[in-house]
């Protein structure tokens, strides 16, 4: 073998993506299980699509940073530019646009795709994450925003997170557009520069932020700062003054907050600095944050995007939705010790004493599997004591040891490991016995 061939390959996964060992997979499945139960209780139907999309889909409208700096794009063997999806919204909009005539609106759809973004991997941000997307298409009233935000809140509650442990921050693109456009008449490039800057405000420190703002906003900095630093909705409204231009956005925020309050959701706050990075939002936008400073990244992000279907040359369809990532919610559940303790999906292990025991155990296992009991057989010649130790380490609740006595008598001793209780049973009664235990 050549020197080159002998070089060992790394066992690390590609930077920023994760391997899911069975213990991680169990957590992932738990998280997805809770999510699915809640979204389905709101009547959302599951859809899916390919990881690969034409790169053009994201060039039309997604947000400059994502397209220019964060997409994984390559040219396929046929010379087409292909992108690993960095978000699901353009895909679902494409699917809805394609079948617009046949679909029965309003649609309530959800999916949990994996997404790829070329980010600097850090706590709460990786290059691959799974993201619940829940969206309503075809509902123009604010009831859609209220439903979507209440769905997000229900998911947090279903995980056992208390209302005082998370905050729902809301703003409106209409207000942002009014301030940047009508009020200050900033040119287009300044607007996106400011939006990015304001998005990073918390991470920058007041003095650095002010200096950066001054470079972008010039003599309008002080007035802009007063607006950005307003403590609450009332103070902000006062600083803004009463004009028709921003009224729609302000009224929408008031209605959404009041409607959510009526539903018992009171951890909603107006946040005029909430920008959301995507170009397609047109109205109310929101994000959910953990109150614990260890988890600074948003858990959910979404809003209204009524014009996105236009990029396909189709009629507009009003749309509201959000994305919620698996990385950040897992951090939160770990922070508050809300993940359930690991349990085995394997119900029963058959320990074996010799080759004959293995043969008989294989037959018993087949019989039990046909009755929906998950069973493994030990094929090793290890001592029974060691076999049992391995069963305990895997948290498998039941064990049966099989040797010549069992083969002769046809009777099996089922041991429940937690209590140490043993029950002698005909093999045909084992499945029923296990099922009858709680
Ligand atoms: P987004 O704010 O980019 O929105 O992502 C939504 C959520 O996905 C974030 O709050 C975070 O939990 C998670 N997330 C995003 N990027 C990463 C990453 N690199 N690593 C780990 N988690 C991440 C969207 O993607 C919109 N398309 C959501 C949407 C759906 N708007 C309307 N409908």
Which tens digit of pLDDT belongs to each residue from 127-138?
Answer: 999 999 999 999
List the binding residues for L-histidine: 87-89, 117, 131, 135, 276, 280-281
Q: Is 417 exposed, middle or buried (0-12, 13-18, 19+ CB in 10 A)?
A: middle
- Contact of 111 with 90, CB cutoff 8 Å: no
pLDDT at position 59 is 86
Q: Residue 3 — very low, low, confident or very high, per pLDDT cuts 50/70/90?
A: low
Q: What is the pLDDT of residue 202?
A: 82
DSSP type of residue 343: -
Query: How far is C-alpha 425 from the geometric centre of its chain's CA atoms?
Result: 46
Ligand 1 atom with minimal separation from the 324 CA:
7
Question: For residue 66, what pLDDT is reported?
Answer: 73
Q: Would you say 305 and 279 are in contact if contact means Cβ atoms under 8 Å apart?
A: no
Q: Which domains does the chain have, with CATH numbers?
A: 22-49+88-335 (3.30.930.10), 348-436 (3.40.50.800)
pLDDT for the residue numbered 5: 63
Read off the pLDDT of residues 387-405 as tens digits, 9 standing for 90 and up. Answer: 999 999 999 999 999 999 9
Bridge-based pairing of strands 411-416 and 422-426 is antiparallel
Could you say which DSSP state residue 311 is in?
A: G
CB of 131 within 6 A of ligand 1: the answer is: yes
Per-residue confidence (pLDDT) for residue 1, from 0 to 100: 54
Ligand 1 near 125 CB (within 6 A)? yes
CA 380 to CA 202: how far, in whole Å?
58
Strands 375-377 and 348-352: parallel
Name the phi and psi angles at 339, rounded to 5.
Answer: -85, 135
Q: Which atom of ligand 1 is nearest to the CA of 305?
A: 32
**Which atom from ligand 1 is nearest to the alpha carbon of 298?**
10
Lowest mean pLDDT among 145-154, 183-192, 249-258, 333-342: 183-192
Given ligand 1 and candidates 325, 327, 332, 333, which is best to mutate, with the most ligand atoms within 8 Å of its CB? 325
Give me the pLDDT at residue 2, please: 60
Tell me the C-alpha distance between 276 and 299, whole Å.
Answer: 13
Ligand 1, atom 30: nearest CA belongs to which residue? 322
Ligand 1 center from residue 323 Cα (angstroms): 5
| Atom of ligand 1 minimally distant from the CA of 127 | 19
Q: Cβ distance 168 to 285 under 8 Å?
A: no
pTM of the model: 0.94
For the Cβ of 300 lying below 6 angstroms from any atom of ligand 1, the answer is yes
Mean pLDDT across the stretch 57-84?
87
Residue range 169-181, pLDDT digits in tens: 999 999 999 999 9
Long-range (24+ apart) CB contacts under 8 A made by 77-84 are 80/54, 81/54, 81/55, 81/56, 82/52, 82/53, 82/54, 82/55, 83/52, 83/53, 83/54, 83/55, 83/57, 83/58, 84/51, 84/52, 84/116
Which of 245, 240, 180 is closest to 216 using CA atoms?
180
Q: Is the CB of 36 under 6 A from ligand 1?
A: no
Q: Select from 131, 145, 277 the residue to mutate for testing ligand 1; criterion: most ligand atoms less than 8 Å from CB.
A: 131
């Amino acid at each position: 073998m050549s020197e080159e061939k002998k070089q060992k390959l790394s066992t690390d996964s590609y930077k920023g993506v994760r391997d899911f060992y069975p213990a991680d997979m169990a957590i992932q499945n738990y998280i997805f299980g809770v999510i699915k139960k809640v979204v389905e209780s709101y009547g959302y139907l599951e859809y899916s699509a390919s990881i690969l999309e034409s790169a053009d889909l994201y060039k039309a409208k997604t947000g400059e940073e994502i397209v220019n700096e964060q997409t994984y794009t390559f040219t396929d063997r046929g010379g087409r530019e292909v992108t690993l999806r960095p978000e699901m919204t353009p895909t679902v909009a494409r699917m809805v646009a394609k079948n617009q005539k046949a679909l029965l609106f309003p649609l309530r759809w959800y999916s949990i795709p994996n997404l790829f973004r070329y980010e600097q991997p850090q706590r709460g941000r990786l290059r691959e994450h799974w993201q619940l997307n829940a969206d309503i298409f075809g509902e123009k009233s604010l009831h859609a925003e209220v439903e979507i935000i209440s769905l997000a809140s229900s998911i947090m509650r279903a995980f056992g997170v208390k209302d005082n442990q998370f905050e729902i921050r809301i703003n409106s693109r209409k207000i942002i557009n009014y301030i940047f456009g009508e009020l200050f008449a900033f040119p287009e490039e300044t607007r996106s520069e400011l939006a990015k800057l304001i998005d990073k405000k918390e991470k920058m420190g007041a003095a650095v932020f002010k200096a950066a703002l001054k470079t972008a906003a010039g003599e309008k900095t002080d007035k802009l700062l007063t607006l950005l630093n307003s403590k609450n909705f009332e103070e902000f409204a006062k600083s803004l003054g009463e004009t028709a231009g921003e009224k729609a956005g302000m009224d929408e925020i008031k209605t959404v907050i009041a409607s959510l309050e009526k539903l018992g959701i009171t951890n909603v706050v107006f946040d005029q600095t909430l920008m959301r990075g995507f170009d397609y939002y047109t109205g109310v936008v929101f994000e959910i944050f953990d109150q614990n400073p260890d988890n600074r990244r948003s858990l959910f992000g979404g809003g209204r995007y009524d014009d996105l279907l236009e990029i396909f040359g189709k009629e507009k369809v009003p749309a509201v939705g959000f994305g919620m990532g698996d990385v950040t919610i897992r951090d939160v559940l770990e922070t508050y010790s809300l993940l359930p303790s690991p349990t085995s999906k394997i119900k029963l292990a058959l320990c074996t004493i010799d080759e004959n025991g293995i043969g008989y155990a294989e037959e018993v296992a087949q019989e039990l599997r046909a009755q929906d009991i998950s069973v493994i057989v030990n094929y090793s010649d290890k001592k029974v004591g060691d076999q049992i130790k391995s069963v305990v380490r895997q948290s498998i609740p039941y064990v049966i040891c099989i040797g010549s006595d069992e083969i002769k008598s046809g009777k099996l001793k089922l041991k429940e490991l937690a209590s140490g209780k043993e029950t002698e049973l005909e093999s045909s009664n084992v499945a029923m016995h296990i099922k009858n235990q709680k």
